[in-house]
Amino acid sequence: MKTRLQKIIAEAGFASRREAEQWIADGKVTVNGQIVTLLGSLADPAVDKIKAKGKLVPPPEEKAFLILNKPPSCLTTTKKDARGRATVMDFVEKVPVRVFPVGRLDYNTQGILLFTNDGHLARKLLEPKYQMERVYQVKVKGIPDEKKLKRVGKGIRLDKIPTAPIKIKVFRTTGKNCILTMTLTEGKNRHIKRVCEMIGHPVIKLKRTHFCKLNLTGLPLGSCRFLSPREIKSLYKAVSHSV
């Protein structure tokens, strides 16, 4: 079926739709060896040979969605680690279609990580404007007082840029330390660890329990599962107000 070129490139995970449009306008996209510069041009990804910036755009695969309960001491990358460390791809290697992680979790952070081969949806889920909630259980040193919790709740400046407000509360205390529940709608580099360090309560252990409407119920550490049709529908619905 013929589809707009920029959509084909975006859904293959090569670029956002806007970036793909710019590539087309700049003459960096070919269809069957012919440069295409007209926005709105159509092609059939199952039949036509499409290249973007010299790289072949693969034909579409059946859409796949799964979640992994990522263990700690594991890299979020699609490449082999030069030092031989485990990567998240080691845990989805038996999945019969090519998938990639949506966003990332730090090396020692465990918890829910979404995988898909729908590049267009993946990009939308990570865009701040859609405010996809990520919920974490965070074990920290000490017990922050109400003043510190309110400070985090209003948003803290990282690299001189204010973060979005964070929902935060004490889930339970464990002796001199405690476990916080933190809900974010954006994901900056080492976001939670840096925020907790700024209020004087370094992170001991970090686990993401929810991403968008998805959770880890019944999924052991290091295991993955495909999403149900209802869960897949909820992801598309979450970004359905796009323009």
Residue 53: what residue type? K
Read out DSSP for 193-210?
Answer: HHHHHHTT--EEEEEEEE
Indicate which residue of 44, 48, 106, 159 is catalytic.
106
Do residues 125 and 18 lie in contact, with contact meaning Cβ atoms separated by under 8 Å? no
**E-assigned strands of 78-133?**
100-101, 110-116
- In 10 A of CB 129, how many CB atoms? 10
Do residues 41 and 34 lie in contact, with contact meaning Cβ atoms separated by under 8 Å? no
How far apart, in whole angstroms, are the C-alpha atoms of residue 49 and residue 132? 35
106 in catalytic set:
yes
The residues that are catalytic are 106
